[in-house]
């Protein structure tokens, strides 16, 4: 009887060991021999796949659902003008800018105003776009120019140095009056005026921009101009 118990105990132990080996080995083999595309979402534990399990650059554009990325998902300040199709945006933005860095004497005559030199003053207005014109220029009143002193500036579109009494091609205009004596620099801001809106056309149109200005002192002279900038704001 004692031998029978010993035999049964040994057999039970042997069967248990064999079962463990078979099950453990079978599981290992199955894990290494899964058929391609055999593991689906039903086999994955909920929330078991995190960022650590994703391969770098694994999520491509084709994998992102259409309209899934909203403005709330875009980091503030991460998009630059190069990332945007500015020409196709349905709102106003600066489409052209040119500047001038020279310092030039300002004419005292409205009939023969000073033409301020701009760098690359020609640009193209795209079809279907409405353009509006802005600008600014610094006027330097010296000590020898007695107050009150005044300066007026025009931004011209597609015109030569018109007399400042002719506003037919004035796209933007501005003036400044200084009521105190002494050396001072005043900035003239040029706002849309007269021809300040170029209506959209069916074809591309080239435009040439120029700034003309004149200044006057109660007595004396020596007014100069510097640091000009012109901007074109396009709207679709």
Structural domain total, the chain: 2
Residue 161: exposure state from Cβ atoms within 10 A (0-12, 13-18, ≥19): middle
Q: In terms of domains, do 23 and 129 share one? A: no
Q: Terminus-to-terminus CA distance in the chain, angstroms?
A: 103
Residue 58 lies in a domain: no
Q: Work out the mean pLDDT of the chain and round it to a whole number.
A: 83
Residue 169: exposure state from Cβ atoms within 10 A (0-12, 13-18, ≥19): middle
The predicted-structure confidence for 140-196, as pLDDT tens digits, reads as follows 999 999 999 999 999 999 987 888 888 888 999 999 999 999 999 999 999 999 888
Q: In terms of domains, do 8 and 125 share one? A: no
Residue 73 lies in a domain: no
Q: In terms of domains, do 17 and 134 share one? A: no
Exposure string of 81-100, with b = 16+ CB inside 10 Å and e = fewer, is: eeeeeeeeeeeeeebbebeb
- Residue 172 maps to which CATH number? 2.60.120
Residue 74 lies in a domain: no
Structural domain span for residue 157: 86-235
Which of 39-53, 87-101, 108-122, 191-205 bottoms out in mean pLDDT, i.e. has the lowest?
39-53
Angstrom distance (rounded) from CA 114 to CA 119: 16
Coil, helix or strand for 185?
strand
Pick from 146, 115, 141: nearest CA to 223? 141
Angstrom distance (rounded) from CA 129 to CA 230: 18
Residue 125 lies in a domain: yes
């Amino acid at each position: 009887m004692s031998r029978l118990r010993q035999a049964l105990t040994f057999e039970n132990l042997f069967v248990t060991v064999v079962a463990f080996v078979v099950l453990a080995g079978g599981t290992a083999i199955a894990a290494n021999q899964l058929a391609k595309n055999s593991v689906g979402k039903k086999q994955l534990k909920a929330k078991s796949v995190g960022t650590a399990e994703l391969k770098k650059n694994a999520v491509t554009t084709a994998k992102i659902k259409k309209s899934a990325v909203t403005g709330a998902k875009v980091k503030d300040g991460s998009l630059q003008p190069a990332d945007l199709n500015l020409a196709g945006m349905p709102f106003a933005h600066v489409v052209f800018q040119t500047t001038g860095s020279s310092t030039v004497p300002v004419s005292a005559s409205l009939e023969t105003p000073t033409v301020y030199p701009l760098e690359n003053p020609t640009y193209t207005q795209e079809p279907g776009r409405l353009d509006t014109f802005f600008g600014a220029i610094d006027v330097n009143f010296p000590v020898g120019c007695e107050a009150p002193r005044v300066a007026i500036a025009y931004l011209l579109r597609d015109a030569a140095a018109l007399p400042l009494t002719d506003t037919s091609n004035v796209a933007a205009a501005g003036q400044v009056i200084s009521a105190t004596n002494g050396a001072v620099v005043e900035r003239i801001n040029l706002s849309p005026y007269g021809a300040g809106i170029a209506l959209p056309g069916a074809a591309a149109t080239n435009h040439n921009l120029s700034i003309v200005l004149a200044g006057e002192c109660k007595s004396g002279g020596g007014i100069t101009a510097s640091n000009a900038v012109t901007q074109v704001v396009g709207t679709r």
